[in-house]
Amino acid sequence: MSVDQALTIADLKDRARRRVPKMFFDYADSGAWTEGTYRANEDDFHKVKLRQRVLVDMTNRSLASEMIGEAVSMPVALAPTGLTGMQHADGEMLAAQAAEEAGVPFTLSTMSICSIEDVRSVTSKPFWFQLYVMQDKDFVHNLIDRAKAAGCSALVLTLDLQILGQRHKDLRNGLSAPPRFTPKHVWQMATRPFWCLDMLGTKRRTFGNIVGHAKGVTDLSSLSSWTSEQFDPQLSWKDIAWIRDRWGGKLILKGILDEEDARMSLDSGADAIIVSNHGGRQLDGAASSISMLPRIVDAVGDRMEVHLDGGIRSGQDVLKALCHGAKGTYIGRPFLYGLGAGGKAGVRRALEIIRKELDVTLALCGERDVKNLSRKNLHTDL
Ligand SMILES: Cc1cc2nc3c(=O)[nH]c(=O)nc-3n(C[C@H](O)[C@H](O)[C@H](O)COP(=O)(O)O)c2cc1C
């Protein structure tokens, strides 16, 4: 099946599983420890029930909206994901192009394979940059300045990874970037010939934002010790101020899952928060994103923009999050599966699938404009 024949995100996932070496496919398709929160993110969307309406005018529908004041063709952004260039050669550049063509925001991770400058060189509209605050503050300052110089229009500051959660699959697979060359890894790669061919055609196989930019990181062994020690466990609310000041543009706080933290975000001067548990990759046992969304919207939604990620696998899921008050949503794995399945065409297909589902769902709920969705479109008495 070609990517254009894929009807669902699950179809793209099946194809990605057959094309991407196991260690990198598993890296995307995994959560922390028991993976309970990873599963809950998806499962809890099924508990939200839509109100079906009939005999209303369903012509001239609009999915267009705004996220942090930027026009979007639908309120669905690509989430920042590390090692995206290992799902497919030059993955971040291809995904950014697909997002630009689809009229939705692309967010580049600090832990990307393609660098900020690489992505800038193949796009013509501003993309968003996600920042991890490292202990090496010179590196962080420099990274913020590079994102500014590349014209990024929003900084997405991730707050839920001060220390690393554990994913058993990654440890069992011996995941590393660049890939290691043990017999097991060589076998995993050799059985994925298209992936290998594409990868041989690019020079981008390590963390593009870090190597050559962080002090002392010049080769593979210095890189792996640097990354494992560098996430800052002392990051605090006070740090938001200097990051915001240095950046000077739109700021989005990612990884808010609690009403108290949402209220604290109000004073930080951020433009938006993302209700997120890092796709179930950090605190296993945390609540699903969609289950926390209503109370976070009730706490701060009238004073700041609330976005959501985690578990979105369809346009119906996007619509449910919008009904619960999210102004925008993000997809992580759905676009990674598309990328692994077929590069840029696969990301394009993932966005087309979600757009079509969102549009048809909107109509069958008796609405014509995503901006009019609210809790009135849901059954709340289940
Ligand atoms: C493979 C992978 C890598 C990720 N890397 C990052 C990252 O570098 N920075 C970040 O803020 N979030 C990262 N995330 C979390 C995503 O931004 C997002 O919160 C999550 O994927 C949303 O859940 P979903 O995959 O169910 O859509 C990553 C997620 C995945 C699946």
**DSSP state at residue 368:** S
Share of the chain above pLDDT 90, in %: 87
- 49 Cα: distance to centroid of ligand 1 (angstroms): 26
Nearest CA to ligand 1 atom 1: 28
Q: Cα separation of 267 and 131, whole Å?
A: 20
- 227 Cα: distance to centroid of ligand 1 (angstroms): 17
Q: Is the pLDDT of residue 123 over 60?
A: yes
Q: Is the CB of 28 under 6 A from ligand 1?
A: yes
Question: For a substitution probing ligand 1, which of 114, 161, 281, 313 has the most ligand atoms within 8 Å of its CB?
Answer: 281
| Span of 1-5, 55-59, 227-231 with lowest mean pLDDT | 227-231
> pLDDT at position 221, please?
64
Q: Say if residues 375 and 332 touch (Cβ distance below 8 Å).
A: no
The yes-or-no answer on residue 278 being catalytic is yes
Residue 360: is it exposed, middle or buried by C-beta count within 10 angstroms (0-12/13-18/19+)?
middle
Other CB atoms closer than 10 Å to residue 224's CB: what's the count? 14
Nearest to 161 by CA among 197, 133, 187, 189: 133
Other CB atoms closer than 10 Å to residue 374's CB: what's the count? 12
Q: How far is CA 3 from CA 178, 198, 314, 346, 349, in A?
A: 27, 17, 16, 6, 7
> pLDDT at position 315, please?
98
Nearest CA to ligand 1 atom 13: 81
Q: Is the CB of 276 under 6 A from ligand 1?
A: yes
Domain enclosing residue 171, as ranges:
3-379
Share of the chain above pLDDT 70, in %: 97
**DSSP state at residue 321:** H
Mean pLDDT of 118-126: 98
> pLDDT at position 181, please?
73
| Span of 102-106, 181-185, 299-303 with lowest mean pLDDT | 181-185
Q: Say if residues 30 and 299 touch (Cβ distance below 8 Å).
A: no
Q: Which residues contact 45 (CB under 8 A, 6 or more apart)?
A: 290, 311, 312, 313, 316, 317, 320
- 302 Cα: distance to centroid of ligand 1 (angstroms): 27
Q: Is the pLDDT of residue 382 over 70?
A: no
- Binding-site residues for glyoxylate sit at 27, 132, 167, 278, 281
Nearest CA to ligand 1 atom 7: 81
Q: Is the CB of 311 under 6 A from ligand 1?
A: yes
* Structural domain count, the chain: 1
Mean pLDDT of 262-290: 97
Q: Is the CB of 84 under 6 A from ligand 1?
A: no
The amino acid sitting at 323 is: C
- Binding-site residues sit at 27, 80-82, 109, 130, 132, 158, 167, 254, 276, 278, 281, 309-313, 332-333
At 1, is the pLDDT very low, low, confident or very high (cuts 50, 70, 90)? confident
Question: For a substitution probing ligand 1, which of 81, 167, 235, 288 has the most ligand atoms within 8 Å of its CB?
Answer: 81
Q: Say if residues 352 and 9 touch (Cβ distance below 8 Å).
A: no
> pLDDT at position 270, please?
97
Q: Is the CB of 79 under 6 A from ligand 1?
A: yes
- CATH number reported for the structural domain that contains residue 240 in this entry: 3.20.20.70
Q: Is the CB of 333 under 6 A from ligand 1?
A: yes
Q: Cα separation of 340 and 333, whole Å?
A: 10
Q: Is the CB of 91 under 6 A from ligand 1?
A: no
Q: Note the pLDDT tens digit of each residue in 339-367.
A: 999 999 999 999 999 999 999 999 999 99
Catalytic residue among 46, 88, 213, 278: 278
At 183, is the pLDDT very low, low, confident or very high (cuts 50, 70, 90)? confident
The amino acid sitting at 197 is: L
Token pair for 28:
């995307």
Q: Is the pLDDT of residue 185 over 90?
A: no
Nearest to 77 by CA among 226, 227, 256, 276: 276
Q: Cα separation of 108 and 127, whole Å?
A: 7
Token pair for 65:
């909206």
- 187 Cα: distance to centroid of ligand 1 (angstroms): 27
What are the DSSP E strand ranges found in the chain? 49-50, 65-67, 70-72, 76-78, 107-108, 128-131, 154-158, 250-256, 272-275, 305-309, 328-331, 378-379
The whole model's pTM is what? 0.97
At 154, is the pLDDT very low, low, confident or very high (cuts 50, 70, 90)? very high
Q: What are phi and psi of 296, to 5 degrees?
A: -70, -40
Q: What end-to-end distance do the CA atoms of the chain give, in Å? A: 39
Q: Is the CB of 107 under 6 A from ligand 1?
A: no
Q: Is the pLDDT of residue 157 over 80?
A: yes
